[in-house]
């Protein structure tokens, strides 16, 4: 089952910060690293993220369980670049028929993999330490987001864990009716596609019913809405955002100083 509930120690110093501050810090830290293709800046960023993880009250094992899909993405990036990279600069390391692996390809792949981790981990940390309801309240109160958007996003966020349950139910129902791919890879692919389509149809229907229910309860009335839980944006929250920007800039500065900086554009 997919779980999006916070798993951090709520008494940790950074876990107590305002949800909007944590989200803004994660966005600043992540998107600053998009400016470079070299592996040095993302590697420094990952080291920083792992170093501050205890301050968020998240255990390393919990982070590994939540971030394991990134490993699959990393493997896909490496395989794709090794097989289909247009530029193959540097020393030839492996040459086997159409497969040509060079040092330049591996450096590029390493940079993209590290950047993927460096950009994604802050988001994983934020949602591991933030209650979705607190995030919606903070978006309305501190970021001045429209209540319809924030509460709709909260409702969608709450429905995500149901996707895993529905996938399992659809698979079990089809197996009970004798629909099984066995060991045939093509049959498995067709079964996967049909199951995904059924899951998509169910999600659209549920989203439509949810939207109608929200409109029926006045979420589109335009009248000011009260909040039950006050979310305060303090000086410490501002320092968290500034600190994230400074650390991301420091990682880029080290990359420039070492001469490894490779701008994304130019």
Distance CA 232, CA 149 (A): 20
Same domain, 122 and 25: yes
Tell me which of 39-48, 91-100, 206-215 is least confident. 91-100
Residue 205 falls inside a structural domain: yes
Look at 146 and 225; give whichever has higher pLDDT.
146
Predicted pLDDT of residue 89: 76
Going by pLDDT thresholds of 50, 70 and 90, the confidence category of residue 4 is low
Predicted pLDDT of residue 238: 95
Predicted pLDDT of residue 184: 80
Same domain, 199 and 239: no
Burial, 35: exposed, middle or buried (Cβ in 10 Å; 0-12, 13-18, 19+)? middle
Same domain, 163 and 240: no
Same domain, 204 and 248: no
8 Å CB contact between 42 and 115: yes
Tens of pLDDT, residues 55-70: 999 888 888 887 888 8
Same domain, 124 and 161: no
Same domain, 41 and 127: yes
8 Å CB contact between 118 and 33: yes
Same domain, 113 and 169: no
Residue 225 falls inside a structural domain: no
Predicted pLDDT of residue 2: 46
Same domain, 117 and 26: yes
Mean pLDDT of the chain: 84
Which run of H or E residues covers position 102? strand 99-102
Predicted pLDDT of residue 3: 52
Predicted pLDDT of residue 210: 83
Same domain, 240 and 121: yes
**For tokens 């420039």, what's the residue?**
256
Look at 20 and 148; give whichever has higher pLDDT.
20
Per the structure, the complete domain to which residue 176 belongs is given by 143-216
**For residues 237-250, average pLDDT:** 94
Distance CA 109, CA 82 (A): 8
Q: Structure tokens of 144?
A: 């001045």
Residue 85 falls inside a structural domain: yes
Predicted pLDDT of residue 62: 84
Distance CA 181, CA 219 (A): 45
User: How many folded domains does the chain comprise?
Assistant: 2
The contacts of residue 247 (CB under 8 Å, 6+ apart) are: 29, 45, 48
Distance CA 40, CA 257 (A): 11
**For residues 207-219, average pLDDT:** 82
Going by pLDDT thresholds of 50, 70 and 90, the confidence category of residue 1 is very low
Per-residue pLDDT at 23 exceeds 90: yes
Predicted pLDDT of residue 8: 76
Tens of pLDDT, residues 114-158: 888 998 999 889 988 888 889 889 998 999 888 888 888 888 777
8 Å CB contact between 14 and 22: yes
Same domain, 112 and 65: yes
Predicted pLDDT of residue 25: 95
């Amino acid at each position: 089952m997919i779980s999006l509930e916070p798993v951090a120690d709520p008494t940790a110093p950074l876990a107590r910060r305002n949800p909007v501050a944590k989200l803004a810090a994660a966005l600043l830290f992540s998107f600053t690293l998009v400016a470079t293709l070299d592996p040095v800046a993302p590697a420094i960023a990952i080291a920083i993220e792992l170093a501050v993880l205890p301050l968020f009250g998240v255990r390393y094992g919990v982070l590994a369980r939540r971030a394991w899909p990134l490993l699959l993405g990393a493997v896909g990036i490496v395989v794709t670049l090794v097989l289909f990279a247009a530029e193959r600069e540097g020393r030839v390391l492996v040459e086997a028929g159409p497969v040509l692996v060079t040092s330049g390809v591996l450096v590029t792949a390493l940079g993209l993999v590290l950047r993927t981790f460096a950009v994604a981990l802050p988001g994983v940390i934020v949602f591991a330490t933030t209650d979705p309801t607190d995030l919606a309240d903070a978006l309305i109160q501190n970021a001045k987001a429209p209540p319809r958007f924030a509460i709709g996003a909260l409702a969608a966020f709450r429905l995500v864990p149901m996707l895993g349950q529905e996938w399992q139910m659809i698979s079990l129902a089809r197996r009970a009716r004798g629909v099984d791919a066995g060991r045939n890879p093509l049959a498995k692919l067709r079964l996967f596609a049909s199951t995904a389509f059924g899951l998509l149809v169910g999600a659209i229907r549920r989203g439509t019913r949810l939207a109608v229910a929200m409109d029926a309860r006045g979420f589109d009335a335009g009248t000011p809405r009260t909040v039950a839980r006050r979310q305060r944006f303090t000086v410490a929250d501002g320092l968290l955002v500034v600190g994230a920007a400074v650390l991301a800039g420091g990682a880029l500065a080290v990359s420039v100083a070492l001469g490894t900086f490779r701008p994304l554009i130019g």
